Structure 1
Amino acid sequence: MWTGVIPAVTTKFKEDGSLDHAEMERCFGLQMDAGCDGIIVCGSLGEGPMLSQDERIEVLKRAQSVTKGKPTLMTVSEAGTREACALAAKAAQAGATGLMVVPSPIYHTNPAETVETLRAVAAAGDLPVMIYSNRIAYRVDVTPEIMEELAPDSRFVAIKESSDDIRRTTEIINRLGDRYAVLTGVDNLAFEALTVGACGWVAGLVVAFPEETVAIYRLVKAGRYEEALKIYRWFRPLLDLDVSTYLVQNIKLAEALAIGSTEHVRAPRKPLSGARRAEVEAIVRKAIEARAALPLAA
């Protein structure tokens, strides 16, 4: 369950700010139709911190209705360990396949606190856990040393590697072998990570361009690097939109243009406007115009 392309999906809202279940079902279905290998809900791209815990469970259940047995993971990213444990337990009760866990995004835990927090959340959910290591966004580096300390607990099974240092994938594998499934979490480092040993891709722009994302992954795994690289080079300007303070608005605009979805976001976010909107729209439209047929048997 910890391989392949696993979209970190956006959460869909109606104009009044309520959850848009019908649009989520449609968009999640497009991911499954393209051959994605699961879904992660309520992460940063899914505006999880803007949702109540009950809303997050609703989104999880909506995804479960579409994934039909493929992994459906809940993101746990709470300021306090108590709240993180509560969400983990709720997700388990709701039938989540596993958890993607972020140490507190508000308080920047030291290594001992990071270990204790991750262990507490894993115990509360008693589900397989993907550790989300993102020192850029969350200011906490879950290092290979920390991963090794957590390794005796079999609930820790995977790493979403988002350190923004391509060397980290190799460092994890060199230190820990196949103890963890290592998935890349940085869209514009995906080809590089997959070619040095990452077994999966927790992807963002996949929500707007699912076929291309799946094709890159499958071509790399088949050793068809030149074909994969050709698509990746076309994709790179789009993938760069994931590495931004405005990644949610960027990607929702890409969804609107590519798959006819909506751009509604939760306040304090607002949809893109002005020069920033024009810039992103130009990138997306240019990519759509240059879209090529994908190789067969990808």
Structure 2
Amino acid sequence: MRIQGTPGDTMLAAMKGVYIVAQTPFDADAGIDLASVDTLVDFYCRHGADGFTVLGVSGEAGKLTEAESLAVANRYIARAAGRPVIVGVSSPNLAQLSQLTAKVMDAGAAGVMIAPASGIRTDDELARYFDHVFTAIGDVPVVLQDFPGATNVGMSVPAILSLVERHPQIQAIKQEDLPSLNKITRLRQGGGRRVAILTGNNAMYLPLELARGVDGPMAGFSYPEMLSGVYRLHTQGDTDAANDLFERYLPLLRYEAMGFWGVAARKEVMRRRGAIRHATMRQPGPALTAEDHREIDALVARVEARLAEAA
């Protein structure tokens, strides 16, 4: 395994901006479409991505083989051309988690994202689990994912702050425990070592979460220029303009927030925008109906009309 040196020296400790949660493109037969990884990275970069998070929940990581996961991560790292790539490696199998971690770090990943394993019920169990994780992976920069909607594991603010102090490898938190706002405030006010906090949940609450102190979105959307635009306007102090921009996209953003069904809609919009060749979801997964396509037509037309009015 490649050792990264002192965790505090890594770029994750001060990460800011838009870290796009990237999709995994499949071809018409549900095989990995690496060529579409290239066009998707280029699409995200044109629209303001500062970095990428791959093999997350909405990236359908749970439907990939280990070899496919490595191939997808490597292609993103290569195409990102220096932009940091965070790779999701969460797994109940610590041997697989540590092996994938070692391989993607050797390939040039900026760090890995890890969520607690399902089944953890107490703070003591949580602490023991991450003791085992960091014994297995060593000195690798980590984004701690707080997403009980997917893991069924609740992490209290004191438990998260304890993990941050106990493990200097934890450089950032992906905070997507709803309701998120007060938890963000409590984490920011908790003292101790400062780590980056980025928000997920499809960026549904992005302006409010930026006001609470997050360092940017770690989310996906078929119009990533909204994510980067809202972030830039907010950091420039123009919160009214940031909210106006956010609201122009809100109906479509909300539509894409419906779990894996929303991911299917997002892929379809990105196919229409030329970012990927196919909108295929690997099974088990939803298939869009003719009525779904009509709804997407209307929502995209609404977004485009509101953008034209604003222009």
Question: What letter corresponds to residue 101 of structure 1 in structure 2?
Answer: I
Partners of 1:135 and 1:176 in 2: CA distance:
23
Give me the TM-score of the superposition, normalised by structure 1: 0.90
Partners of 2:310 and 2:74 in 1: CA distance:
32
Q: Report the alpha carbon displacement of residue 280 of structure 1 after superposing the two structures with TM.
A: 3.9
Q: Does 173-182 or 151-160 show the bigger shift?
A: 173-182
Which structure has more relative contact order (CA 8 Å, sep 6+)? It is: 2
8 Å contact from structure 2 (residues 74, 104) kept in 1: no
Say if 2:82 is the partner of 1:66: no
Partners of 1:217 and 1:188 in 2: CA distance:
13
Question: What letter corresponds to residue 100 of structure 1 in structure 2?
Answer: M
Question: What letter corresponds to residue 224 of structure 1 in structure 2?
Answer: D
Question: What letter corresponds to residue 28 of structure 2 in structure 1?
Answer: E
Q: Does 23-32 or 76-85 show the bigger shift?
A: 76-85
* Secondary structure of residue in 2 paired with 1:290: helix
Give the equivalent residue in structure 1 for 2:289: 273
Partners of 2:116 and 2:96 in 1: CA distance:
12
2:174 counterpart (149, 157, 160): 160
Give the equivalent residue in structure 2 for 1:239: 253
Partners of 2:162 and 2:192 in 1: CA distance:
14
Give the equivalent residue in structure 2 for 1:140: 153
Give the equivalent residue in structure 1 for 2:184: 169
Give the equivalent residue in structure 1 for 2:237: 223
Partners of 1:81 and 1:62 in 2: CA distance:
24
Give the equivalent residue in structure 1 for 2:194: 179
What's the RMSD between the two structures over aligned residues? 2.1
Deviations 1:155-201 (A, max 9, x none): 00111110121211101001136622111112111111001111121
Deviations 1:81-131 (A, max 9, x none): 333233222222322110111122x43553323233334334433321111
Give the equivalent residue in structure 2 for 1:81: 94
Partners of 2:250 and 2:16 in 1: CA distance:
22
> Does the C-alpha gap of structure 1 residues 91 and 260 become closer, same or farther in structure 2, counting only changes over 3 Å?
closer
Give me the TM-score of the superposition, normalised by structure 2: 0.86
> Does the C-alpha gap of structure 1 residues 110 and 82 become closer, same or farther in structure 2, counting only changes over 3 Å?
farther
8 Å contact from structure 2 (residues 21, 59) kept in 1: yes
> Does the C-alpha gap of structure 1 residues 124 and 88 become closer, same or farther in structure 2, counting only changes over 3 Å?
farther
8 Å contact from structure 1 (residues 263, 271) kept in 2: no
Give the equivalent residue in structure 2 for 1:7: 20
Partners of 2:178 and 2:299 in 1: CA distance:
23
Question: What letter corresponds to residue 43 of structure 1 in structure 2?
Answer: G
Q: Report the alpha carbon displacement of residue 234 of structure 1 after superposing the two structures with TM.
A: 1.0
8 Å contact from structure 1 (residues 99, 130) kept in 2: yes
* Secondary structure of residue in 1 paired with 2:241: helix
Partners of 2:97 and 2:232 in 1: CA distance:
34
* Secondary structure of residue in 2 paired with 1:96: coil
Q: Report the alpha carbon displacement of residue 218 of structure 1 after superposing the two structures with TM.
A: 0.5
1:248 counterpart (246, 263, 270): 263
Q: Does 247-256 or 191-200 show the bigger shift?
A: 247-256
Question: What letter corresponds to residue 263 of structure 2 in structure 1?
Answer: V
8 Å contact from structure 1 (residues 7, 203) kept in 2: yes
Q: Report the alpha carbon displacement of residue 224 of structure 1 after superposing the two structures with TM.
A: 0.6
Q: Report the alpha carbon displacement of residue 276 of structure 1 after superposing the two structures with TM.
A: 4.0
- Count of aligned pairs between the two proteins: 292
Q: Which runs of 5+ in 2 are unaligned?
A: 1-10
Deviations 1:38-58 (A, max 9, x none): 111111111000011221111
Say if 2:132 is the partner of 1:120: yes
8 Å contact from structure 1 (residues 79, 107) kept in 2: no
Partners of 1:159 and 1:124 in 2: CA distance:
20
1:52 counterpart (59, 65, 82): 65
User: What is the aligned-residue identity percentage?
Assistant: 26
> Does the C-alpha gap of structure 1 residues 259 and 142 become closer, same or farther in structure 2, counting only changes over 3 Å?
farther
> Does the C-alpha gap of structure 1 residues 3 and 279 become closer, same or farther in structure 2, counting only changes over 3 Å?
same
Give the equivalent residue in structure 1 for 2:54: 41
Question: What letter corresponds to residue 215 of structure 1 in structure 2?
Answer: G
